[in-house]
Structure 1
Amino acid sequence: NPSSGLAQQLKTYLTSGGSVVIFPDLDSDIKVYNSFLVALSLPQIQNLNKTASKVDQIDLQHPIFKTVFEEIPKNLDLPTVNRYYDFAENNASNKENIMSLPGGKLFFSKYGIGSGQVYLSATGLNANDGNFARHPVFVPLMYRLTLNSGLDDALYYNLGNDRALASKQLALGKNQTLKLTAKNFEIIPEVRQAGGKTLIYTADQIKLPGFYNLNLADSLIGVYSFNIGRTESDMHYLSKTELDELAEKSNLKIYDTDKDAVKLIAGSNKIGQTLWKLCLILSLIFIAAEILLIRFFNNPKKTI
């Protein structure tokens, strides 16, 4: 049975941003378990349900499963349970249902606690409780939980836009300071502890893109990448009235392809007619020039 001391230690760990997965022992004392769950701000157990059931809802768009399946099968096989806990649930804002039993009952859900998260299962891993531990969905679930349990570091930061760098919580001594360094660059940033993380403020001292090392004494704590922000172009358009005013000032004419289609076709035909006449005139001029050149400048020398 979980103790109150364990609950207190887990509470501290969760507040610091940790992740915990709870698979309950269905043979434990429910009262003791409820004291443990209440200490973690989790729903209490109502009773042990021994009616066999099957998971009927799985949130495949949840970050845990979002990249697991390349193609979602139409008849997805889901875990079955022989016995499970019914919880006294309320509409908690910190709850995310990952898998549910019929009627929306909790089967496997995520609860945000402090800066961390608790993943609570309604059934245990014992073979007598169901096939959850042996089901194909179990391994990717545990793998993704492990990946998501760490600090979600940003891939890069934008120069001039990001005010603070995030790091895992660092315990600094009285005379210890962090340094952010690069080639020909070194600053001592401002450090704050918040929400189980260490926030590092550079005060807009980083001006060049590149990689910057975060050091504590001689130890490398992390590497941060800074890029130049790439904002999208302004996609606002001029109205028809504004276009007409601009065209009038610039001596341009604006056509509406729907309303002025006939004019555009007629205009293109007119241009075509003008060009063929011009080509004919130029051809006649060049032919006349060639005749004149042959007539007056091509005089072969007479031999005696």
Structure 2
Amino acid sequence: MTFLNPAVLIGLLAASIPVIIHLLNLRKLKKIEFSTLAFLKELQKNKIRKIKIKQWLLLALRVLIILFIVMAFARPALRGLSIAGTTSAAKTSAVFILDNSFSMSVLGQNGSYINQAKDIIRKILEQLKEGDEAAVILSSENNQNVNLTSDFNQLINQLNQSELSYIKGDLHKSLTLAAELVNKSKNFNREIYILSDFQKNIFPKDEIKTDLSQLLNENVKIYSFPLSEKKVFNLAIDDLRSANQIFEIDKPVTFNISIGNYSEQNVQNGVISVFVNQKRAAQKSFDVEAGKSVLIDVDAVPDKAGFIDISAEIESDDIEQDNKRFVSLFIPEKISCLIISDDNSSSKFLKLALQTIGQQKLKIDERNSNQIGGTQLKNYEIVFLCSDNLNLPDKFLQYLNEGGSLVIIPPVNVDINKMNNQLKALNLPNVNGFAGKQNDKSLSGQFDKIDFNHPVFLNLFKKEDKKNIESPQINYFLKLSTQGKGSSIITLTDGSAFLSEYKSGKGKIFLFNTAHDLSWSNFPLKTIYAPLLVKSLFYLVQKENQQDNLIAGNPLNFELNRINSTQIRMVKPDSSAEIINVDLGNQKIFDYKNTNLAGFYKIYSNNLLIDNIAVNYDKSESNPVYADENDFNKYLELLNFNGRLITINKDSNPSDAINQARFGSELWRIFLLIAILLAILEMNIARNVRKEIEGISKTN
């Protein structure tokens, strides 16, 4: 027998009170002999003997009454024994951990794993009694406001409204929260129920340093319900990426797609489709062996500018949620370009080359170096600097840090000292001098090495065998090397970098070592000139999406300097919208954490779409490799779990299994009933004793 409220047992000391009172009332009577009453002596002795026996019986009854009342309040309970109608269940605090990750969507004989888990929780909740309390933790949610409650209808409503999540379940975090909840409870039965398919990925990969021995002590029982029941056939799109770095309307984009086969059977002639803005744009078949993955390339053609939704999809299988993956592209509708030049000869060929793009796609503004102070660089996707009089270098560094792009072309009459000061201010390598002479073709350099794998050369040639660029004759150029700060795209025969690329913040820099003027070379007259400039522009204005691989559950962020409103509207993949207030004065970046769905999150400011971020699932959730009880035991050992683990088979009756494992019934009602019966008996005996004593007194 166990007492659920043992502190009350100190009240057992009160049982000594009747004994003390009895001892204090004992006193010797003075004997007075009456000759006329001698014949009553024998009768009185018999009566007094009976009275003394009854007084001792009363003393015992009073002590027992106190003992049973105190023990009733101490809540005695028996393990594994139930006396129908006379006992009450020990009060219970139950915390349910429900795995709502999308692997729980697998259909078993009795429905999906997630629905089976919900049914089990409902049945257990229905058996809880007054004074019990419970809580439900969803393993794929943050669960910040979860507390124990006796409102079981509220918990059932929560269960009914809960849905599968694309966020990977966190068993360790959920179990820690459950341990904290039951540790706060005053109820004796402290129980944690874990309902999951128990994929191996549910256990932490990193070393566990959490000691839960104080929370998960010997009074805590963990009930595990492994719900997996069959071998799952599942294919998943593990990755979707664009192979291109330049996106143009009506130009093909190649997508690299990785497909994993997480089943025990080979797949032949599977079909994958690529959708552009929800329209099927391409389709391709694939084969993949059991337990392996395959990488395929699919081409699709964007047909308009702006933000573009790209999704890849395969056919149905046991787990539907990982059959689609998403990526977002952006093609500027009209590019804003700024040319900074202090003389027309330094930029005239550049402007002619850029004008081939057309006024509908490109807007060109021109400024001299003295006008930079009043120019908002953030209004331009790209800046061409054809001057060595760089003013306000910090302004350019900020522009680059925020994602702007810069092309540096030496002016015709370059000053090498000014040029080096300019390059130093931008953290670029210095010029080591000049080679050749202006307007002197007797000494000329030529192209030597060309990086044809660079994006600016992608699709520049109609056929691969035409990658043979006619080199210009370069009679005057700056001797420049990347010095490990960047990469050379085109190198001259003397090793100088004709065209090199550098990273600065979130932006990119192209650096030419030759002025685009015929006094330096005939480069502006070559057929490669205009295509190379145009391709360079499209490459540089294409922003790198730092959140291409954002996984559901991780926060997405966007820079507030791109908006001018204190409110933004977030439209989620299910088309639901959320209005968010932002502080433009004190916030630079806003983190949005409610990314529980896979798909596109569209951010609007004043009804203008300012960003489109693709969120995908954790591919580890696609692998139906399940843990066994030994794996779970090892995990609990790492936590220093001191309680008891009970694994309940899904085919078992959970109520019976729980009742067998749980501490038995409380006996306080029996103890209180016994105390009442003893009190009634004590009153009857005490009344009888008083009458007998009164009779003896009258006789005397």
Whether TM-score is above 0.5 comes out as yes
Q: Which amino acid aligns with 1:202?
A: Y
Do structure 1's residue 179 and structure 2's residue 569 form an aligned pair? yes
Take 1:147 and 1:162, find their aligned partners in 2: how far apart are those partners?
31
Do structure 1's residue 213 and structure 2's residue 602 form an aligned pair? yes
Query: How far 1:58 moved relative to its partner?
Result: 0.6
Structure-2 change in CA distance of 1:33 and 1:96 (3 Å): same
Query: How far 1:44 moved relative to its partner?
Result: 2.0
Take 1:105 and 1:29, find their aligned partners in 2: how far apart are those partners?
19
Q: Secondary structure at 1:81's aligned position in 2?
A: coil
Take 1:206 and 1:221, find their aligned partners in 2: how far apart are those partners?
18
Do structure 1's residue 18 and structure 2's residue 409 form an aligned pair? no
Structure-2 change in CA distance of 1:168 and 1:6 (3 Å): same
Identify the residue that residue 536 of structure 2 maps to in structure 1. Answer: 145
Identify the residue that residue 37 of structure 1 maps to in structure 2. Answer: 423
Take 2:558 and 2:472, find their aligned partners in 1: how far apart are those partners?
38
Query: How far 1:24 moved relative to its partner?
Result: 0.5
Q: Secondary structure at 1:60's aligned position in 2?
A: coil
Structure-2 change in CA distance of 1:3 and 1:188 (3 Å): same
Q: Give the 5 Å matches for 1:53-132.
A: 53-69=445-461, 70-73=463-466, 75-87=468-480, 89=481, 91-92=483-484, 94-132=485-523
After superposition, the C-alpha distances for 1:51-97 in whole angstroms (9 at most, x for unaligned) are 3010111101112223323414364423331111113x4632x3010
Query: How far 1:123 moved relative to its partner?
Result: 0.6
Q: Secondary structure at 2:509's aligned position in 1?
A: strand
Structure-2 change in CA distance of 1:82 and 1:14 (3 Å): same
Take 1:146 and 1:74, find their aligned partners in 2: how far apart are those partners?
20
Take 1:37 and 1:225, find their aligned partners in 2: how far apart are those partners?
37
Q: Does the 8 Å contact 1:156/1:227 carry over to 2?
A: no
Query: How far 1:124 moved relative to its partner?
Result: 0.8
Do structure 1's residue 170 and structure 2's residue 562 form an aligned pair? yes
Query: How far 1:138 moved relative to its partner?
Result: 2.2
Take 2:589 and 2:404, find their aligned partners in 1: how far apart are those partners?
17
Which consecutive residues of structure 2, in runs of 5 or more, have no partner in the other structure? 1-386, 437-442, 626-700
Q: Which amino acid aligns with 1:33?
A: M
Take 1:15 and 1:185, find their aligned partners in 2: how far apart are those partners?
31
Take 2:468 and 2:539, find their aligned partners in 1: how far apart are those partners?
27
Take 2:525 and 2:392, find their aligned partners in 1: how far apart are those partners?
28
Rg comparison, structure with higher value: 2
Q: Secondary structure at 2:544's aligned position in 1?
A: coil
Structure-2 change in CA distance of 1:2 and 1:153 (3 Å): same
Q: Does the 8 Å contact 1:159/1:208 carry over to 2?
A: no
Q: Which amino acid aligns with 2:404?
A: G
Structure-2 change in CA distance of 1:3 and 1:179 (3 Å): same
Take 2:583 and 2:460, find their aligned partners in 1: how far apart are those partners?
37
Identify the residue that residue 298 of structure 1 maps to in structure 2. Answer: none
Q: Does the 8 Å contact 2:388/2:418 carry over to 1?
A: yes
Of all paired residues, the percent bearing the same amino acid is 24
Take 1:71 and 1:168, find their aligned partners in 2: how far apart are those partners?
43
Structure-2 change in CA distance of 1:39 and 1:103 (3 Å): same
Identify the residue that residue 444 of structure 2 maps to in structure 1. Answer: 52
Structure-2 change in CA distance of 1:115 and 1:57 (3 Å): same
Q: Secondary structure at 1:214's aligned position in 2?
A: strand
Take 1:213 and 1:75, find their aligned partners in 2: how far apart are those partners?
43
Structure-2 change in CA distance of 1:106 and 1:161 (3 Å): farther
Take 2:409 and 2:492, find their aligned partners in 1: how far apart are those partners?
16
Q: Does the 8 Å contact 1:180/1:189 carry over to 2?
A: no
Take 2:511 and 2:489, find their aligned partners in 1: how far apart are those partners?
10
Q: Secondary structure at 1:104's aligned position in 2?
A: coil
Q: Does the 8 Å contact 2:388/2:411 carry over to 1?
A: no
Q: Does the 8 Å contact 1:190/1:202 carry over to 2?
A: no
Query: How far 1:154 moved relative to its partner?
Result: 7.3
Structure-2 change in CA distance of 1:74 and 1:18 (3 Å): closer
Take 1:155 and 1:67, find their aligned partners in 2: how far apart are those partners?
26
Q: Secondary structure at 1:78's aligned position in 2?
A: coil
Take 2:506 and 2:415, find their aligned partners in 1: how far apart are those partners?
29
Aligned length: 227
Do structure 1's residue 133 and structure 2's residue 524 form an aligned pair? yes
The structure with higher relative contact order (CA 8 Å, sep 6+) is 2
Task: Provide TM-score, normalisation by structure 1.
Answer: 0.62
Q: Secondary structure at 1:46's aligned position in 2?
A: coil
After superposition, the C-alpha distances for 1:145-167 in whole angstroms (9 at most, x for unaligned) are 22222323479666516542556
Which consecutive residues of structure 1, in runs of 5 or more, have no partner in the other structure? 193-197, 237-304
Identify the residue that residue 327 of structure 2 maps to in structure 1. Answer: none
Task: Provide TM-score, normalisation by structure 2.
Answer: 0.29
Q: Secondary structure at 1:139's aligned position in 2?
A: helix
Structure-2 change in CA distance of 1:33 and 1:75 (3 Å): closer
Farther-moved stretch of structure 1 (95-104 vs 1-10): 1-10
Q: Does the 8 Å contact 1:214/1:222 carry over to 2?
A: yes
Q: Secondary structure at 1:5's aligned position in 2?
A: coil
Structure-2 change in CA distance of 1:188 and 1:72 (3 Å): farther
Structure-2 change in CA distance of 1:109 and 1:72 (3 Å): farther
Q: Does the 8 Å contact 1:158/1:229 carry over to 2?
A: no
Take 2:421 and 2:401, find their aligned partners in 1: how far apart are those partners?
19
Structure-2 change in CA distance of 1:84 and 1:213 (3 Å): same
Structure-2 change in CA distance of 1:82 and 1:152 (3 Å): same
Take 1:217 and 1:96, find their aligned partners in 2: how far apart are those partners?
41
Query: How far 1:119 moved relative to its partner?
Result: 0.8
Take 2:499 and 2:490, find their aligned partners in 1: how far apart are those partners?
5
Take 2:622 and 2:504, find their aligned partners in 1: how far apart are those partners?
40
Q: Does the 8 Å contact 1:26/1:85 carry over to 2?
A: no
Q: Does the 8 Å contact 2:550/2:556 carry over to 1?
A: no
